[in-house]
Amino acid sequence: MKAMVLAAGLGTRLRPLTDNLPKALVEVNGRTLLEIALTRLQSFGVSEVIVNVHHHAEKIVEYLKSMNNFDLKIAISREDDLLLDTGGGLKKAAWFFLEGNPPDDPFILHNVDVLSNIDLRRMAEAHKEKCALATLAVQERKSSRQLLFDENSFLVGRRKGNDIADDIIRPVKTPQALAFSGIHIISPRLLPLITESGVFSIIDTYLRLAASGEKISAFRADEYYWRDLGRPEDLAQASNDLSQLRDVLPPVR
């Protein structure tokens, strides 16, 4: 199985930690966010990963070399001139998932700055059962980034908040607002359907394709631990959480 780790972000909310360090190399309990993401993916059978880089890109490249790529086959997608956001980043890396990959074999897209014990194998099974184009890990929690789903857990819109009208692509009586967790299972069939260009969010692509009838499915992850590590206080809370949770971090290699 293949995966992409989104590690190109500037990490502005983590300053001053990220003034001279990429977000991916910030540590929690002595382990970098990149190590945590990669070893966790590896524990679910991922053997090939592409990592996008931008902010302090060479430090990530040298770090991976020093760690022997964690015994994974790792490719680097450089976004040297422009940070492409999730959609643009995935589109640039599409070749990685189209070369030598069975067309029905899904891959994982994973933010480097999320920490969770979400069962990715179970999520992939749910993706296949629903014949979805993409499956998004979601939870019922407060968030400024909420997506709207119908009674069958398929994407129907996006909640913008701040008294801005919801972005609805398919009206339903009672859409459920759920917070996205930065983890996707994606069928390679999605990649040729990405017509957006430049800098764009993959959520924009999902909404467009869902409007045309494609299945963008929710995987309810309410029972699992999840934390965004975008701020220093989040790192501190995660460190405290990990002293009580044993199944979030894979074993140290």
Kindly tell me the sign of the dihedral angle through the C-alpha atoms of 158, 164, 170, 174: positive
User: Does residue 253 form part of some domain?
Assistant: no
Q: What pLDDT is attached to residue 249?
A: 62
Helix count and strand count (H, E) for the chain: 7, 14
Confidence (pLDDT) at 253: 57
Distance CA 231, CA 249 (A): 19
Q: Is 233 a member of any domain?
A: yes
Q: What integer pLDDT is reported at residue 53 of this predicted model?
A: 96
- Overall number of domains in the chain: 1
Domain annotation covers residue 250: no
Query: Which CATH number covers residue 197?
Result: 3.90.550.10
**Residue 40 lies in domain:** 2-242
> pLDDT tens string for the chain (253 positions)?
999 999 998 877 878 778 888 999 998 888 999 999 999 999 999 999 999 999 899 999 999 999 999 999 999 999 988 999 999 999 999 999 988 767 778 999 999 999 999 999 999 999 999 999 999 999 999 887 799 999 999 999 998 766 666 788 888 888 999 999 999 999 999 999 999 999 999 999 999 999 999 999 999 999 999 999 888 888 888 888 877 766 666 665 5
Residue 252 forms part of a structural domain: no
Residue 251 lies in a domain: no
Could you tell me if residue 159 is inside a domain?
yes
| In a domain? residue 153 | yes
Q: What is the pLDDT of residue 231?
A: 86
Q: Which of helix, strand or coil describes residue 187? A: coil
C-alpha–C-alpha distance, residues 27 and 14, integer Å: 11
For residue 53, which phi and psi values (nearest 5 degrees)? -135, 150
Quick check: is 198 in a domain? yes
The whole-angstrom separation of Cα 51 and Cα 69 is: 11
